[in-house]
Amino acid sequence: MRSYDLPVVNKNMTLFIEIKDLRVGFDGVDVLKDIDIEIKEGEILGILGKSSAGKSILMHVLRGVEAFDDISGSVIYHLSKCNECGLIERPSKAGTPCPKCKSKLEKFEVDFVKLPIHDPIRRDVTRRIAIMLQRTFALYGDERVIVNVMNALQEIGQLGPDAINRAADLLDHVNLSNRMMHIARELSGGEKQRVVLARQLVKNPILLLADEPTGTLDPKTAELVHETILSATRDFKMSLIITSHWPKVIEELSHRALWLDEGKIIKIGDPQDVASEFMKEVGEIGNQDEVEIGKPIIRARDLKMTYFSLDRGIVRAVNDINLDVNESEIFGLIGVSGAGKTTTSKIISGLLRPTSGSIEVRIGDEWIDLTQFGPDKKGRATKYIGVLHQEYSLYPHRNVIDNLTESIGLDLPFELGERKAIQTLMTAGFTEKKAKEILTKMPDELSEGERHRVAMAQVLIKEPRILVFDEPTGTMDPVTKIEIAKSILHARKELGETFVIVSHDMDFVGQICDRAALMRLGKIVDIGDSDSVLSKLSQKEREEALEGIVKELK
């Protein structure tokens, strides 16, 4: 485990934030319930939970710049304030001279639940709260890095003669002095996050809210961002609240951890204990039910796909492969980038016509050759083949039930459409209660795992016999991966579907696939039981497979 140098916190630290009986509701559903916690000045609190657990809503309540129509309880900030110039400071500063006007700082409290959204006091407090969000970099993309930080100084009225030096100092704090003249949009994800942090440090904050700040970054880049956040926390003597769905992040970066699930606190305490309990609850696929594997349903013989590239000349993407996939089987295609697995999956799904050879699928008792066009040939077969692309998309302006029923292309009566949608969502791994709850939700109201399962339901509702999934776990946290694995296994059990899984994620293939084929340079070099095939991977292939996942994360 990575060892980070956390700021020292003792038991006598001053109370900073006091949350009592906090409840937040949307459309009649409570997304936060009975939240009670005290946070000390200088403490790092880690909030752990699955996607849609309520972590981000809690962070937005703490940030204090949004109005919530349905909220109750208390979110009390214990602070100190200068009654002369209005400066807000951390609570331990009460009784000391104001750093701006030298008047005495007095104890001060504010409740973000009760205080009106436009109250000037709320504005004064929120100016001392910094926030980092996952993916939302909020930068001036066409401006240089140092200009982005200077713009942040201008936004708070501090663009004086020393502004450029102040901006350069802040970029030093986040280890980006070697990028200050770069254009912001040309930075990597980790570098953009550090520019965001520099812009937030302009406020000289007393609290940093980091909401999944490294959720989509590769491990090495995430380490750099974590070190930068901790360094800033020490240098600016901030308190830090950080959320993650990665247990390891919470273990390594926090003094104390909180496990949140469906809006409720499940456990608070030592980060390792909380992370361990969290993974016990959600970290296993469990025993798989026996499923009867049938006769072959996909048959490839002497399959080749050759094309010409100006850079590389003749490329044999698929080079004389033979394989059978059995009915109700979960079959994996593995290999490094460029091995030919994605091209093979596109041929199997009917999206590409091979240069030579045959690819057949069995519909009922009849074999149909996908290389032959026509409504009675390929057109007939592809109706029973469903494809879930890595970059899947839902209709953003349609709710879940419309996303599902419109994908069928039939004008169903509402009652039948609703029934079919609920049944399909349950097949994709939702409980009946959850399936009914999300029918009217828009895609942006769902978690990543929920969106992925709705996209899977969008394919399943067409009643295919064969499903081809391209990198189904590309950017997922370990909990969501388990949810998707369970969904695939459940769909196979309930419907007898056949799955072809293309993946860089060797652990996922080992957990879920009955058999696998290892491809190298367009050829199948080994095929059989997934554990046996995975054992044949070279160390280089394992490293390149990990690099493939990292590229997708970027």
**pLDDT tens by residue, 343-402:** 999 999 999 999 999 999 999 899 999 999 999 899 999 999 999 887 777 888 999 999
- Note the pLDDT of residue 471: 83
pTM over 0.75: no
The pLDDT value recorded for residue 216 is 62
Provide the CATH topology of domain 286-384+464-554: Rossmann fold (3.40.50)
pLDDT along the chain (554 residues), means of 10: 71 90 91 96 93 87 94 97 94 94 95 95 94 72 90 85 90 90 85 89 93 72 85 92 87 94 94 90 67 94 87 84 96 87 93 94 94 91 89 86 82 83 88 91 82 88 91 70 84 90 86 93 93 81 57 45
Contact at 8 Å (CB) between 200 and 171?
A: no
Domain map (residue ranges) of the chain:
286-384+464-554, 393-463
Give bridge partners of residue 211 from the DSSP assignment. 133, 243
Long-range contacts of 535-540 (CB under 8 A, 24+ apart): 537/334, 537/506
Residue 298's nearest CA partner among 463, 489, 517, 504 is 517
Per residue in 290-339, pLDDT (tens digit) is 888 999 999 999 999 998 777 667 888 899 999 999 999 999 999 877 78
The C-alpha atoms of residue 225 and residue 206 are separated, in whole angstroms, by 19
d(CA 476, CA 473): 5
Angle (CA) 52-57-551 rounded to 5° is 55
| Crossing angle for the helix pair 400-408 and 448-460, to the nearest 10 degrees | 20
What pLDDT, on the 0 to 100 scale, is given for residue 545?
60
Determine the angle formed by the axes of helices 219-235 and 163-173, rounding to 10 degrees. Answer: 120
State how far the Cα of 534 lies from the Cα of 525, in Å rounded to an integer: 12
30/262 Cα distance (integer angstroms): 9
In whole angstroms, give the CA distance from residue 486 to residue 54: 22
CA distances from 417 to 139, 412, 422, 453 (A): 43, 6, 9, 18
Quickly list H helices, 183-218.
189-201
Rounded CA separation 408/427 (Å): 16
Q: Where are the beta strands (DSSP E) in 49-154?
A: 71-82, 88-89, 105-111, 129-133
Q: What is the pLDDT of residue 133?
A: 77
Q: Is the dihedral of CA 90, 91, 92, 98 positive or negative?
A: positive
- With 0-12 / 13-18 / 19 or more C-beta atoms within 10 angstroms meaning exposed / middle / buried, residue 404 is buried
